Amino acid sequence: MFQLIIHPDQLVVIYHRDSFFTIIIPLLIKIIQKFFCFCKRLYIIPLGENARKRHYHEADKGDIIGFAVQLEVLVNDQWKVVIRYDSAHGFAHIDRYYLDGRKVKIELHLKLSEALTLGDEDIKENWKIYQKAFLEGK
Amino acid sequence: MINILERKHAILVTEFDRYVVEHPEFAVNIPRNAQIVLQVEGDEKYNEWSMQLAERQREIDQSVVYVKVKGLKPARSRLLKPKVAVA
């Protein structure tokens, strides 16, 4: 009657259109997603000219268990990371990148959810300043 | 001078991020690495600006997801149980 396919980050169910599953299955999917939460999200949003934000987070029942939010700017037809708020290596931190290839790590003594909020807010407020500084090699 | 469209866009982007975190089921069909294009109901100037910006940045074969919103609720404080202590 229907086929269940589980991907790492989403649940897909293929079913026949003319059955009562047409109504039941989408409801079941919503319930399963709510309680077991297949929640890995990765998307890109343009911020402005030659600047974009890449957002990744992983959640378990509403709690953030991993994230990476980074500002990328276009330099010579290549997207370069300028600043990244990240939870890799088990703790929240900032990786600041420079045009000459240097990278500076700053530890954040924050909960992952707080660090994610901080990253989103900081990039929202300051992306132009970061972009300018990066392009000037500062 | 402040670019109003850019400013509005920055706020919408942040609100979109929050919404996705708070409503995991909302973004279940967004493909990985998709480009999100925000659109606001009735704001043609912003919508055109947002669409053109996205088109300029779109990569070959990148999925595009249009997210249309009705608008923004008034901003609210997020402080948890603040207390006042007068010295």
DSSP readout, B8-77? HHHHHHHHHHHHHHH-TTTTTTPPTTEEEEEEETT-HHHHHHHHHHHHHHPPTT--EEEEEE---PPP--
Q: Which of B5, B8, B13 to probe the A interface (max A CBs under 10 A)? A: B13
Check if the beta carbon of residue A48 is closer than 8 Å to that of residue A127.
yes
Stronger pLDDT, A27 or B83, i.e. the higher one: B83
- Chain A hits for B27, CB-CB cut-off 8 Å, are 41, 43
By C-alpha distance, the chain A residue nearest B35 is: A44
Q: What is the pLDDT of residue A38?
A: 57
Task: Measure B63 CA to nearest chain A CA, in Å.
Answer: 10
Walking along chain A (138 residues) 10 residues at a time, the average pLDDT comes out as 55 57 70 63 94 92 88 95 93 94 94 92 94 93
* pTM score of the predicted model: 0.77
**pLDDT digit string (tens) for B31-72?**
999 999 999 999 999 999 999 999 999 999 999 999 999 988
Rounded to whole angstroms, the Cα distance separating A26 from A21 reads: 8
Q: What is the pLDDT of residue A37?
A: 55
Q: Say whether A53 and B11 touch across the interface (CB within 8 A).
A: no
Q: Say whether A41 and B20 touch across the interface (CB within 8 A).
A: yes
Q: What is the pLDDT of residue A29?
A: 66
